[in-house]
């Protein structure tokens, strides 16, 4: 089975959830002898053209083939079936102006040309079908993200008892202001992490009292599982995809008004401070085991195989 992997995301971001997901898929596809994998990678063997991210790839694919882009590109070539992954609908809900207009044009073009669409959570699938009611729901499959093997409890690391915030603190819907208020009310240190190695991130999870995750919207929420797999309790807002990912294993707050949310989180932080967290950590570790990158890859590959079978590529 010929698969063309469009690695354009690595030219758009140095760090980020989409790059993590795509890299995990690539590692497994490269080792899969059922695939004849071709990678379009503009960091190494291809010179990007002006505005490359918005253009049709300059590539003549061996057919039949699957073309799967890491970020909303298509290859409209006979004998090529396109697959698009949708991670979230943040541009619909939280962006405006030219950036939103251009992104939605790019996104809709990819959806119209795709034989199959992958969403990383049921919540993202619901949002997608709400935003694009013309999209055939039978073409949309949920494939959950996984969680890396790097994340694990480190018995030799001493707890430092700080509150940990993972995410872009300048993006309003991440609600960094709520995390700051929780830190102020509890008197605990608030540590933020950006652009650190996975091993460093694992250490931060191990040292923290808990991960604060007050985000209003997530397509999935990778830090939730990373924290749990490292044995770090999670306090999050009960919203968007977060209940799907956390299940019954995390501490969630129901109110989305900043002061009410902050106070609920403060109460949960004090609960963690006042008693043992072993049961919470055990539940978190069990929850994280529901997700793996091997499962993500196998389900993605199944989408490819279904296209080959149903469309006789």
CATH number for 7? 3.40.50.2000
Q: Which residues of 67-89 are buried (b: 16+ CB within 10 A; e: fewer)?
A: bbbbbbbbbebeebbbbbbbbbb
Cα–Cα dist 87/169, whole Å: 20
List the chain pLDDT tens, one digit each, 313 residues: 999 999 999 999 877 899 999 999 999 999 999 999 999 998 876 778 899 999 999 999 999 999 999 999 999 999 999 999 999 999 999 999 999 999 999 999 999 999 999 999 999 999 999 999 999 999 999 999 999 999 999 999 999 999 999 999 999 999 999 999 999 999 999 999 988 899 999 999 999 999 999 999 999 999 999 999 999 999 999 999 999 999 988 899 998 788 999 999 999 999 999 988 899 999 999 999 999 999 999 999 999 999 988 765 6
Domain match, 38 and 78 both: yes
Quick check: pTM over 0.85? yes
Cα–Cα dist 101/167, whole Å: 24
Q: Which of 114, 133, 127, 121 is nearest to 303 (CA)?
A: 114
Domain match, 20 and 115 both: yes
pLDDT of residue 222: 96
Per the domain annotation, does 142 fall within a domain?
Answer: yes
Per the domain annotation, does 156 fall within a domain?
Answer: no
Contact indicator for 16, 171 with CB cutoff of 8 Å: no
Residue 254's DSSP bridge partners are none
Q: Taking the alpha carbons of 244, 254, 163, 210 in that order, is the dihedral positive or negative?
A: negative
Domain match, 175 and 269 both: yes
Q: What residue numbers bound the domain in which 134 lies? A: 2-146+292-311
Per the domain annotation, does 157 fall within a domain?
Answer: no
pLDDT of residue 245: 97
Q: Which residues of 185-208 are buried (b: 16+ CB within 10 A; e: fewer)?
A: ebebebeeeeeeeeeebbebbbbb
pLDDT of residue 295: 98
Per the domain annotation, does 155 fall within a domain?
Answer: no
Number of domains observed in the structure of the chain? 2
C-alpha torsion angle, residues 40, 41, 47, 52 (rounded to 10): 70
Per the domain annotation, does 158 fall within a domain?
Answer: no
Per the domain annotation, does 30 fall within a domain?
Answer: yes
Contact indicator for 42, 55 with CB cutoff of 8 Å: no
pLDDT of residue 311: 67
Domain match, 281 and 302 both: no
Domain match, 8 and 128 both: yes
Domain match, 33 and 105 both: yes
Domain match, 300 and 261 both: no
Domain match, 180 and 196 both: yes
Q: Any residues with CB less than 8 A from the CB of 74 and at least 6 apart, and which?
A: 56, 67, 82, 84, 109, 110, 113, 114
pLDDT of residue 290: 97
Domain match, 142 and 13 both: yes
Hunting for tokens 């971001």 — which residue is that? 13
Cα–Cα dist 198/187, whole Å: 28
What are the respective helix, strand and coil percentages of the chain, to the nearest 5?
A: 45, 15, 40
Residue 163's DSSP bridge partners are 190, 210
Cα–Cα dist 114/57, whole Å: 15
Domain match, 137 and 239 both: no
Domain match, 124 and 168 both: no
Per the domain annotation, does 154 fall within a domain?
Answer: no
> CA triplet 113, 114, 118: central angle to 5 degrees?
150
Domain match, 43 and 124 both: yes
């Amino acid at each position: 089975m010929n698969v063309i992997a469009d690695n354009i995301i690595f030219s758009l971001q140095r760090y980020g959830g989409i790059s993590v997901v795509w890299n995990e898929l690539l590692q497994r596809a490269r080792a899969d002898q059922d695939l004849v994998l071709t990678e379009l990678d503009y960091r190494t063997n291809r010179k990007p053209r002006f505005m490359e991210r918005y253009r049709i790839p300059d590539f003549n694919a061996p057919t039949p083939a699957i073309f799967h882009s890491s970020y909303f590109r298509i290859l409209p070539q006979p004998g090529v079936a396109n697959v698009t992954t949708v991670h979230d609908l943040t541009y619909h809900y939280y962006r405006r102006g030219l950036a939103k207009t251009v992104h939605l044009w790019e996104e809709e073009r990819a959806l119209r040309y795709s034989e199959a669409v992958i969403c990383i959570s049921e919540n993202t699938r619901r949002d997608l079908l709400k935003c694009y009611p013309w999209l055939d729901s039978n073409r949309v499959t949920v494939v959950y993200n996984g969680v890396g093997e790097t994340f694990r409890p480190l018995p030799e690391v001493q707890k430092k008892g700080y509150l940990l915030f993972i995410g872009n603190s300048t993006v309003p819907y991440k609600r960094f202001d709520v995390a700051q208020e929780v830190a102020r009310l509890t008197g605990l240190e608030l540590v933020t992490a950006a652009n650190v190695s996975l091993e460093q991130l694992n250490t931060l999870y191990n040292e923290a009292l808990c991960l604060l995750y007050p985000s209003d919207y997530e397509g999935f929420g990778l830090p939730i599982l990373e924290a749990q797999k490292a044995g770090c309790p999670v306090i999050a807002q009960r919203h968007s995809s977060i209940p799907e990912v956390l299940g019954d294993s995390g501490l969630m707050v129901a109110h989305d008004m900043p002061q009410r949310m902050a106070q609920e989180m403060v109460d949960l932080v004090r609960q963690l401070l006042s008693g043992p967290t072993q049961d919470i950590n055990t539940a978190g570790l069990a929850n994280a085991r529901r997700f793996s990158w091997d499962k993500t890859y196998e389900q993605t590959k199944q989408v490819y195989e279904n296209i080959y079978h149903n469309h006789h590529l």
